[in-house]
Amino acid sequence: MYSTGMSTAERLIESTRELLWDRGYVGTSPKAILERAGAGQGSMYHHFKGKPDLALAAIRRTAEEMRATAGEALGRPGTPYERIEAYLRRERDVLRGCPVGRLTMDPDIIASDTLRAPVDETLDWIRERLAGIVEEGKEQGQFAPSLDGEQIAAAILAAVQGGYVLARASRSPAAFDAAVTGVLSLLAPQPTRA
């Protein structure tokens, strides 16, 4: 499953990331982590203090990856609308759900300030980036001056996360696509009247 050059610690982190996404914190047992990683008994405790420490490393890695992917779309050349569109339309495994957003549904992660911190920081980071792009669009006259960047950013992020939920519930990516198209239609620059 993992490359032969990957260290045991890396295999443990990657295994935990996948299991957290699929099963949540409680369903991610040390035994399942070790089996998926192809690691021997005690490997987890050799590299990490225990399951919470390993889960934190996995959550941080997932959060970093999500920020990098979102940052790539939001930081590309183009108008503010085009950059938001690139973020919303980027390739995703929609039916699997958001690896960070799904963690917010896990009571054990939400109850832990330590485990929740990378999740909260990532969602805040994306909201701040989106809000800045909306404000940039307002300054350029692309978006209506009455728009509040922070509110629009929250609405975009809510549409993405809600789109995942709708797609998973219906077992169809069409629900996610409809949410994305709806947000973009609300943001689409209006032609100026002569």
Fill in the DSSP letter of residue 90. Answer: S
What pLDDT is recorded for position 117?
97
pLDDT digits (tens, 9 = 90+) for 37-95: 999 888 888 899 989 999 999 999 999 999 999 999 999 999 999 999 999 999 999 99
Fill in the DSSP letter of residue 188. Answer: S
Neighbours of 159 (CB within 10 A): 21
4 exposure class (CB count in 10 Å sphere: 0-12, 13-18, 19+): exposed
Domains, the chain, with CATH or none? 59-187 (1.10.357.10)
Fill in the DSSP letter of residue 26. Answer: H
Report whether 113 contacts 120 (CB < 8 A): no
What is the overall mean pLDDT for the chain? 92
What pLDDT is recorded for position 43?
85
Between 18 and 191, where is the model more confident?
18
Residue 12: which pLDDT band, with cuts at 50, 70 and 90? Answer: very high
Residue with tokens 């996995």: 58
Mean pLDDT of 17-43: 90
User: Smallest Cα–Cα separation from 2: which of 18, 20, 24?
Assistant: 18
| Distance from C-alpha of 28 to C-alpha of 67, rounded to nearest angstrom | 24
| Distance from C-alpha of 106 to C-alpha of 93, rounded to nearest angstrom | 20
Q: Give the DSSP H or E segment for 55.
A: helix 51-74
